[in-house]
Amino acid sequence: MKFALTGQQIMHSKSPALFAAAYHNHRRYSYELLPATTIGQAMSLFHSLSLLGMNVTAPYKQKVLVYLDKFSKEVEQVGAANVVLRQGGQLVAYNTDVVGVTDAFIQNGVAIQGKTALVLGAGGAGQAATYALKKGGARVFWANRSIAGIKTVAKHYKVDCLPLDDVSKHLAEVNLVVNTLPVMAPALENLPLNETHVVLDADYKHNPLAKLSAERHARYISGLSWLLWQAVPAFFYFTGVMPDVPAMKRVLFPSNDFPL
């Protein structure tokens, strides 16, 4: 059984090591990286290599949908997928980012119900985070450089949307901050975080808000937590076998320097 991850700028990805740890006793499974310059190229590789399943990351989580036959409930709600799976002659889309965001907080002892959250960014990860937090019982502010493209979706989710330049004005109302932006936006460089905030970055390579969170005494959760908790159900979809979660944790947090 062959699986892979596709996207752009993925050569640093920890997913192959994570998959190897998850199924260290199952040698019939393989997992590789498939960097692709277009989603069309990614899907061509998926078919030519006869992959059973594939993880999808930026910038293809939304673009991949036109190539797929069936959507899970989460994909229908979010409009993005991070898992593609061959099932019954069809290509089925799943979104485990929703669980990944929720469990990144819950597994670190942070409740979502009754909190006020701020989501930064409106790509596939941002939409998944917004949906997950709203579903979990939080009031959500959804911020993006331009809000024109997210107003309709924000209304559907029943969340408030605002431009990035206005984020600081609302931060005093917020408990949870989820950053899904691919680069540090100027509007966030002096974000007035404090000890009442819990911050989750999606980008575990650059950890854009880690330094600022430490300086402002906000609690910080690495994007590695999101990576872990979205991977657990994704790998189960692929294999039908529950992955070895403790082994996965040891790959991501070998010295226990980060929360789980």
Choice among 61, 115, 134, 249 that is catalytic = 61
DSSP 189: T
Strands, E, within the chain: which ranges?
2-7, 30-35, 53-56, 70-71, 83-87, 90-94, 116-120, 139-144, 160-163, 176-179, 198-201, 219-221
Question: Which H or E element spans position 164?
Answer: none
Only one residue has tokens 């673009």, namely 63
Strands laid side by side in the 2-7 sheet: 30-35, 2-7, 53-56, 83-87, 90-94, 70-71
- What residues have CB less than 8 Å from 175, skipping those under 6 apart? 115, 116, 117, 196, 197, 198
- What residues have CB less than 8 Å from 17, skipping those under 6 apart? 251
Annotation says 158 is catalytic: no
Residue 189: count other Cβ atoms within 10 Å of its Cβ.
Answer: 9
Distance CA 200, CA 190 (A): 17
Q: Are the CB atoms for 226 and 100 separated by under 8 Å? A: yes
SS3 content of the chain, % helix, strand, coil (to 5): 40, 20, 40
Distance CA 161, CA 147 (A): 7
Q: Which residues are catalytic?
A: 61
